[in-house]
């Protein structure tokens, strides 16, 4: 009998193990062809993993959606201690200053008084890479702003791209799993050029608009200072009378937009993987404070009803030509952090951190973010008291009855720790303030409880086409080349073909160019769920080249020098660059410096083999005859010149530099100038304000 009991116990354990592994005991049907059914962690079969549960097609996401809650909850707790996404970040302090009162549009205190300054903290980041990844990865950039207003903290948690990959937050774990390192091999790091990412994109037509954006130069910005920011979602502004106005938030860089080219980005990651961090740090430390203007796109229900696309769809924009961006204030970053960990690493942003006068819409991606972020902060910072950390704490008075918990730096004083209570003002604690407290907009929502999306969400290609056709020819070439490069790293031919089949719906010339670059036949177009609108007007605001800098302000000239360099010419270049608000760095054979023609020994910022031209926006060669002859034998000096030429940068050189130019294979064109005298410096620096000499790029065929 003892043996029988033992056998029974062992059989039960084995059966239990089989069930835990999911290999036995299933009572629900499989997904077909031997593929197991998708279930929750509790084993409940999932009918729809594409849409969160809503009240009507355009209604709010419902709290009872246990599948979404479990999925996002588990995703939020996958990593410790760094962020799952946006792990590599860099932050700075500053202020927001309003230009005018917007009291007729919103009761938000920050917009009531012209000229008032509100403290701010901004964190820029890459999305896909880990903390140790490089700055110049081709990636979306986070642009998160915390505004410490007099009525609490308001976070605008956005990106440098106004659209996103997905429409519903339930797909966020899948997106990030696909873009991160492949789980069986742990690479590639901070790259989308791999099978998993493009497999996901090719099966999610809603991602195609974002795919065009991420293959554009928007994802390889010159620096944070030349980068736009967007709130992505549609929000509401609420005035004192309770009237709602829809709004989209924009951050417009005062310096204009600028990006690097891909070959340059690859070399920058090797030359200085902290390039963006260093650039922001140096600018603030030198007093050249970066600035952005806050712009609002304001529109009403009538526009929302008539617009070709759904304003709740985060994969779409409202073109600025349709709804102009009204600039209502400026953001200035004027102080670096005192401690990177205490501030940049521990700062916690949350889309649900809003103030009276701001409110949400039913955007399903926004609704999911509002639900998710508190979980994220709890896991990452280890306590519900993360708001006690100085970088997260409001700068206005705050009072509540929340108490105790890990890392509680302060607790409510007095007898009462609940409300309502009957104790007097001295010991009763804070009370509600119905007149100024936050009230949600009284929107009417009703509908059948289903996992669905609104009909207009199904147009996945029209705005992707509009974005592509709004680019200049050089930008379109960059997009095509980016697709070819990324898909050439995909090992599975079927995935490459699926991506190109989507591009046929965007633009046939683009699709054919990508197919030619991959050496494949052009596949038939993927059948669109909704007819593509082919005649959307071009939007010049979507082009970086059309919205670039107007001068050399905020940019850097690299000057390659040698012993005997013309001192008067160096001084003229320095004077011209500083006069434009730019910077110079001297690159010499030795970092100890060089002796100029006036006999003075000047220090160098970089040694020639540690200061490649990719670090600079334009270059000048101020060399003596002897110096040029010596440097022409130095491979890194030849690369300095050849790369600057290949990357379409403006180049100036003394006549003595010809041996080095010849060895580097540089033939002067309209983007190159001979520096014959100090008087030539001003004209060269003025020309550099045009950004790059794009006419050269097709001839050198380096992208």
Q: Which residues are catalytic?
A: 86, 159
Rg of the chain, C-alpha, whole Å: 29
Q: Taking the CA atoms of 538, 539, 543 and 545 in sequence, report the sign of the dihedral they define.
A: positive
Reading the block at residue 697, the tokens are: 């790029």
Reading the block at residue 453, the tokens are: 């999306």
Concatenated DSSP letters for 425-494?
A: HHHH-----TTTS-----------EES---GGGG--SHHHHHHHHTS-HHHHHHHHHHHHHHHHT---HH
CA-to-CA separations, 96 to 70, 268, 293, 328, 614, in angstroms, rounded: 38, 32, 9, 10, 33
How far is it, in rounded angstroms, from Cα 406 to Cα 399?
Answer: 19
CA-to-CA separations, 430 to 382, 402, 525, 672, in angstroms, rounded: 27, 12, 62, 69
How far is it, in rounded angstroms, from Cα 309 to Cα 234?
Answer: 13
Q: How many CB atoms lie within 10 A of CB 604?
A: 20
Q: What contacts 240, CB < 8 A, 6 or more positions away?
A: 103, 107
Q: How many CB atoms lie within 10 A of CB 626?
A: 12
What's the start-to-end Cα distance of the chain, in Å? 79
The H-or-E segment that residue 299 falls in is strand 291-299
Specify whether the CB–CB gap between 311 and 246 falls below 8 A: yes
Q: Which DSSP symbol is given to 343?
A: I
How far is it, in rounded angstroms, from Cα 519 to Cα 521?
Answer: 7
Degrees (nearest 5) of the Cα angle 471, 475, 480?
110
* CB hemisphere CA count around 246 (13 angstroms): 20
How far is it, in rounded angstroms, from Cα 247 to Cα 233?
Answer: 9
Specify whether the CB–CB gap between 506 and 438 falls below 8 A: no
């Amino acid at each position: 009998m003892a043996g029988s009991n033992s056998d029974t116990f062992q059989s039960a354990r084995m059966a239990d193990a089989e069930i835990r592994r999911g290999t036995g005991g299933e009572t629900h049907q499989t997904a077909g062809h031997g593929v197991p059914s998708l279930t929750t962690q509790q084993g409940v079969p999932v009918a729809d993993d594409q849409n969160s549960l809503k009240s009507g097609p355009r209604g709010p996401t419902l709290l009872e959606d246990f599948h979404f809650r479990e999925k996002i909850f588990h995703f939020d707790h996958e990593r410790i201690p760094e962020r799952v996404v946006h792990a590599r970040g860099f932050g700075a302090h500053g202020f927001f200053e309003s230009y005018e009162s917007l009291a007729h549009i919103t009761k938000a205190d920050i917009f009531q008084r012209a000229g008032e300054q509100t403290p701010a903290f901004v964190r820029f980041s890459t999305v896909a890479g880990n903390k140790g990844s490089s700055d110049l990865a081709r990636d979306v950039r986070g642009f998160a702003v915390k505004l410490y207003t007099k009525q609490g903290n308001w976070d605008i948690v956005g990106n440098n791209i106004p659209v996103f990959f997905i429409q519903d937050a339930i797909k966020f774990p899948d997106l990030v799993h696909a873009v991160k390192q492949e789980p069986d091999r742990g690479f590639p790091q901070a790259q989308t050029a791999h099978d998993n990412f493009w497999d996901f994109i090719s099966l999610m037509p809603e991602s195609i608009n974002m795919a065009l954006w991420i293959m554009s130069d928007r994802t390889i910005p010159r620096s944070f200072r030349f980068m736009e920011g967007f709130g992505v979602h549609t929000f509401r502004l609420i005035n004192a009378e309770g009237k709602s106005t829809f709004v989209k938030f924009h951050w417009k860089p005062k310096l204009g937009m600028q990006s690097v080219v891909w070959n340059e980005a690859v070399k920058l990651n090797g030359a200085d993987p902290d390039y963006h961090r260093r650039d922001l740090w140096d600018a603030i430390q030198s007093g050249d404070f970066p600035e952005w203007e806050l712009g609002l796109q304001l529109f009403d229900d009538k526009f929302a009803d008539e617009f070709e696309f759904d304003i709740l769809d985060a994969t779409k924009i409202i073109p600025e030509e349709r709804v102009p961006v009204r600039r209502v204030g400026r953001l200035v970053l004027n102080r670096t952090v005192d401690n990177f960990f205490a501030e940049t690493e521990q700062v916690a942003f949350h889309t649900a951190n809003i103030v009276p006068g701001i409110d949400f819409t039913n955007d399903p991606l926004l609704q999911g973010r509002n639900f998710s972020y508190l979980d994220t902060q709890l896991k990452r910072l280890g306590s519900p008291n993360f708001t006690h950390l100085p970088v997260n704490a409001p700068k206005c008075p705050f009072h509540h009855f929340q108490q105790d918990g890990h890392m509680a730096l302060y607790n409510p004083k007095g007898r009462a720790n609940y409300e309502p209570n009957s104790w007097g003002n001295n010991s009763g604690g804070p009370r509600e303030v119905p007149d100024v407290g936050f009230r949600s907009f009284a929107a009417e929502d009703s509908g059948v409880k289903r996992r669905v999306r609104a009909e207009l969400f199904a147009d996945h290609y029209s705005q992707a086409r509009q974005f592509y056709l709004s680019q200049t020819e050089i930008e379109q070439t960059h997009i095509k080349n980016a697709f070819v490069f990324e898909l050439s790293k995909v090992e599975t031919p079927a995935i490459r073909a699926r991506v190109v089949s989507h591009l046929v719906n965007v633009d046939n010339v683009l699709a054919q160019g990508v197919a030619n670059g991959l050496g494949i036949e052009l596949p038939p177009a993927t059948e669109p769920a909704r007819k593509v609108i082919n005649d959307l007007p071009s939007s010049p605001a979507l082009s970086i080249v059309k919205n670039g800098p107007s001068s050399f302000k905020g940019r850097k000239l690299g000057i390659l020098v040698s012993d005997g360099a013309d001192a008067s010419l160096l001084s003229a270049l320095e004077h011209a660059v500083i006069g434009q608000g730019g910077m110079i760095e001297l690159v010499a054979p030795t970092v100890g410096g060089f002796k100029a023609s006036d006999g003075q020994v000047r220090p160098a910022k970089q040694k020639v083999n540690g200061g490649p031209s990719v670090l600079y926006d334009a270059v000048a060669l101020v060399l003596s005859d002897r110096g040029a002859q010596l440097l022409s034998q130095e491979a890194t000096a030849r690369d300095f010149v050849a790369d600057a030429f290949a990357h379409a940068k403006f180049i100036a050189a003394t006549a003595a530099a010809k041996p080095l130019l010849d060895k580097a294979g540089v033939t002067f064109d309209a983007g190159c100038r001979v520096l014959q005298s100090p008087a030539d410096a001003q004209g060269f620096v003025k020309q550099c304000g045009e950004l790059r000499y794009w006419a050269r790029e097709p001839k050198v065929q380096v992208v």
